[in-house]
Structure 1
């Protein structure tokens, strides 16, 4: 874990080294939100840009008409995962044999979106939405998703498409019972949950967010309500915790868990990375609020779920 305050930086590790690479799960969505805002601020997309303007979805039914802006706040009407990927079958293979439930190419993902029926445009957490958002903004920028990620947010992130792409620094994750788990890799899933990073890379990223030098920072500013007490920017969530505004996201894969959060008013931030499946939200919220007084502790708010 890493902690940054206006006066000091601290990093603690157990069983890993500064360059050990973790799956950060759905923290990937927070990074994708920043890529979207950066591409928007450069005038490459707008509030009214739709998916079929950027991806070959013209004959895929309603999905091509979805706006990027609605994807960024989980309000597009898309399901969490495309029915065409047979998510229940994959989830059972994950539970029983530890298989990677993702692994699709971008071409696979686009084929799986055929004839999806959109739901009501209300808040609904969608992995599919952020997969499409990330690849769409990369297309708008004339690059791959990983190239755009490295260009906008700096080096230190990887998005392995296959298990063979993993290197010696990539940790093997485990279940909460200690069972080794297969890596969650895949081109399609990268923008929603397929990024890997070390605690060193995440600390540097967190520092750039806190000091205002990161690109796409407007992604952290809420533009809509996700629930009555929770605001959402582009991927990033904000809520009141112990009287303080905490902007955050968590992540979970088959063998990893993660959390990032900031109190921007106090200039403090925390990253927690674990190569074991199991929530680390409590540790993250405790650490980010240890550096200042708190007065109100609202009910815990959970977003996403297994595999987010």
Structure 2
């Protein structure tokens, strides 16, 4: 295992090498050591823990594998379901811009009429996982099985996702039950595309990636140029092909460098720096759903929101077959954390819990 850290002030623009700071200035919190411990515990071929505190970045990299050919913090990592934080912000921006309200029936946008007497599934239902949809379409598994260990989502294209949604008959009235659903957010992406006349990935690039200067973020793998991190199985061996999200791009297609992920999170900590997105960045910090005993589980349109002694912690994690990611931020401490690694989730995995703890225990 090799580890190393670099700091910079302020955060570097995407695509530029960061300049090491003469004064790491971690506020006495011992961040380099704490992050290095998390990198070691991840026990993955490539791991990066990237932290921003009041704009000052500390990035620690390491891995059990050989050198990937470029600095690990300059690789693009698959963030899986953390893509939903991007899609939630995109919807919030379209609403803030007056292009949508969030109350539009998804089926109508996708060209279908609502059966008489049936309550419509709206964009708001889809983004909050209250549309009454399962995690995945019923026929996803038999189609995906032949490629289950390589690229199961690639076998379920756009048209099939939309068709499965239009044919689905929810057991419960939309808005009454919460169930986490890749299916629902995938449909949301297609509905946003239909509403604007622009595919989700192009809409994301134009409305979010460009204003935030996320030049090292993409929704498709690179063409063998070494920009993308290579995923591995549970034991950290056996390289896996680049993840293909198929028709589920809005739920899991984003891949980005740790520096771009920090820039994305820093925008949430200081919305006024990004005038085109200020309203949306503020909106995605607002609770829109409370569930569970005592309403302890709080959600925004983009983030899970947990309480800490000092204030709320916002986060989302994600995984593909061979990579994992954790994104989180705390406005009360001005801290953001982007953690990525190239190993599939395994039982008792310390990666996400370690990343969460680093933020939750910050003072």
2:328–2:359 Cα contact (<8 Å) kept: yes
**For residues 32 and 55 of structure 1, what CA distance do their matches in structure 2 show?**
18
CA drift of 1:58 comes to 3.5
Q: Residue 115 of structure 1: CA displacement?
A: 2.0
Q: If you compute each CA radius of gyration, which structure gives the higher value, 1 or 2?
A: 2
CA positional deviation for 1:45: 1.5
C-alpha distance in 1 between matches for 2:118 and 2:285: 26
* 1:225 equivalenced with 2:273 (yes/no): no
Query: 1:167–1:127: structure 2 CA closer, same or farther, 3 Å change rule?
Result: farther
Q: What are the Cα deviations for residues 199-257 of structure 1, in whole angstroms up to 9, with x where unaligned?
A: 12112111222111452211232111143311111131101245642111110111011
CA distance in 2, matches of 1:30, 1:92: 30
Q: Which residue of 2 aligns with 1:262?
A: 329
1:170 aligns with 2:228: yes
Kindly state the Cα deviation for residue 18 of structure 1 after the two structures are TM-superposed: 2.9
Alpha-carbon separation, structure 2, partners of 1:205 and 1:198: 11
Cα root mean square deviation, aligned: 2.5
Which residue of 1 is the match for residue 314 of structure 2? Answer: 247
Aligned residue among 95, 98, 101 for 1:46? 101
Partner of 1:303: none
Unmatched 5+ residue regions in structure 2?
1-48, 64-70
CA spacing shift, 1:42–1:101, aligned 2, 3 Å: same
Q: Which deviations, in whole Å up to 9, do the C-alpha atoms of 1:177-212 show, x marking residues without a partner?
A: 123223321341111011111112112111222111
Alignment partner of 1:117 is 2:169? yes
Q: Residue 13 of structure 1: which of 46, 61, 84 is its match?
A: 61
Structure 2 CA distance for aligned equivalents of residues 262 and 152 of structure 1: 22
Q: CA deviation at 1:166?
A: 5.9
* Distance (whole Å) between structure 2 residues aligned to residue 122 and residue 283 of structure 1: 30
TM-score (norm 1): 0.84
Would the aligned equivalents of 2:262 and 2:336 in 1 still touch at CA under 8 Å? no
Change (3 A) 1:59 1:164: farther
Unaligned 5+ segments in structure 1 are 293-308
Q: Which residue of 2 aligns with 1:299?
A: none
Task: Report the TM-score, using the length of structure 2 for normalisation.
Answer: 0.72
Equivalences for 1:1-308 in 2 at 5 Å? 1-6=49-54, 8-15=56-63, 16-58=71-113, 65-85=120-140, 87=141, 90=144, 93-94=147-148, 98-103=149-154, 104-120=156-172, 121-154=176-209, 155=214, 156-160=216-220, 167-177=225-235, 178-212=237-271, 213=273, 215=277, 216-217=280-281, 218-227=283-292, 228-241=295-308, 244-278=311-345, 279=349, 280-292=351-363
